[in-house]
Amino acid sequence: MSKSTDLYLKAKKIIPGGTQLLSKRPEMFLPDLWPAYYSKAKGCEVWDLDGNKYIDMSYMGIGSCTIGYADDDIDNAVIDALKRGNMCTLNVPEEVELAELLCKLHPWADMVRFCRTGGEACAIAIRIARAYSKRDIVLFGGYHGWSDWYLASNIEDETNLDKAHLSGLEPNGVPQALRGTSIPFYYNDTEKFKELIEKYKGKIGAVIIESVRNKDPEKEFSNTLRELCTKYNIPLVIDEVSAGFRIAVGGAHLKHGIEPDISIFAKGMSNGYPMAAIIGKKNIMEASQNSFISSTYWTDRIGPAAALATIKKMINNNVYLHLIEKGLKIKAIWQELSAKHNIKLNYGGMEPVPHFGFAYNNPLVLKTLFTQLMLDRGFLASNAVYASFAHKDEHIDKYKIAVDESFGIISLAINQNNAESLLKGPVCHSGFQRLT
């Protein structure tokens, strides 16, 4: 038993689910063996509680640490903010500077509200959109957090959210009265979107979609979203929580040429410090004045200070170009080495966040084995990588050697049909599963 696994067993007795974020559950990676806790993280290196050191070639703080762990520039800005008092009866001037910067980067936007997490920001955007439109139904594509408005979709059909992003989510605790208030459509499925608009027009209060997740938006799809939202005066919300600042300085929608009415940023904007923003057009954002949207900790200094330092560093270093370059390099490694070892993979993801799947009938077994083999070689690795500014060629070169060795073993296991017997623990989970 390692200190990490010991502590996680204890955690599961006192914290339902063991952790506050599904994607940080060790069961999602390598049940019983994944080092659940870290003592230190710097750049793209991580030390667990037992003093083992890893290179993080997985989620980099679940996508939040675009620049890298404990980055000196951002940490110094945060330390400075702390020294000047993180909280006070008065407001922090940094939030006005940040609002101006976000509007400058997104010339279509005039006003900004702040909160601290992505799920909150999505809920606020939906509240503002509904307050503006005075209509209830939300059409959505992709993932938008844990709130009632989103989970309500599974009351009508318990597979709605499977298709949107995540399987196994039960709408327990969500009022049945919300049945039929949020309805999914799928990326690039223009016909389905048109159908839903036709069916529910006059009742739709918001359309929300991720700017990009696995595929870039097709022109026809983006144009149709914009045209129909304008035609029926429905606020179009583009969620940049995962994609923002990774493929452009600002939202991915800047690159894809679609103009939202509201856009949302969170974990990609402040390198691991809690911060989130809802930016939008004046006439729509002003509707937030007619609704009560207010919280004490949305006003602290660390969040805006971290976001300003992060965004400035991203601008000065063209960080998104680095992320794209490294993401492409990582994907090329998978392509080259899977061909070398005759392993069938399929690929997805944005360029700076590539992922692969094993194209076999036991993909989770093979994914678990990959993680196990990579962990043995000093890497936190899964089938997706959030490229970070801290990932340099030296890390990627070492990663390539480890992937080569691991794919070699996996290829043999596929041929001998014995992958599961090589696992030292259970197969990883996918989607939401109860942990007891």
Residues that bind ligand PLP (CB under 6 A): 117-119, 122, 142-145, 210, 239, 241-242, 266-267
The residues near 163 (Cβ < 8 Å, ≥ 6 apart) are 184, 186
Structure tokens at 250: 């600002």
In DSSP terms, 345 is beta-bridged to: 358
Alpha-helical segments (H) within 49-189? 72-83, 94-105, 118-133, 148-151, 153-156, 160-164
Please report how close the Cβ of residue 58 comes to ligand PLP at its closest, in angstroms. 14
**347, containing H or E segment:** strand 345-350
Nearer CB in complex with ligand PLP: 151/427: 151
Beta bridge partners of 115: 276
Q: CB nearer to ligand PLP: give 4 or 242.
A: 242
- Residues contacting residue 94 through CB under 8 Å, at least 6 positions apart: 81, 301, 304, 305, 308
Q: CB 93 → ligand PLP: shortest distance, Å?
A: 25
Provide the CA 84 distance to its chain's centre, in angstroms. Answer: 31
Residue whose beta carbon is closest to ligand PLP: 118
Residue 406 has a CB neighbour count (10 Å cut-off) of: 23
Q: Of the two residues 246 and 326, which places its CB atom closer to ligand PLP in the complex?
A: 246
User: Minimal distance in Å, beta carbon 364 to ligand PLP?
Assistant: 21
Rounded least distance, CB 272 to ligand PLP, Å: 12
C-alpha to C-alpha distances, 300 to 100, 172, 274, 292, nearest whole angstrom: 18, 33, 10, 19
In angstroms, what is the minimal distance from the CB of 125 to ligand PLP? Answer: 10
Is the Cβ of residue 114 or residue 399 nearer to ligand PLP in the bound state?
114
When the beta carbons of 28 and 122 are compared against ligand PLP, the nearer one is 122
Task: Name which of 373 and 385 has its Cβ closer to ligand PLP.
Answer: 385
Q: C-beta of 347: minimal distance to ligand PLP in Å?
A: 19
Q: Which residue has the tokens 């679609």?
A: 258
Considering the complex, state which of residue 266 and residue 307 has its C-beta at the smaller distance from ligand PLP: 266
| Minimum gap (Å) between residue 189 Cβ and ligand PLP | 18
- Gap between the Cα atoms of 178 and 153, Å rounded: 8
The most distant pair of C-alpha atoms in the chain lies apart, rounded to whole Å, by 67
Judge contact between 67 and 310, C-beta under 8 A.
yes
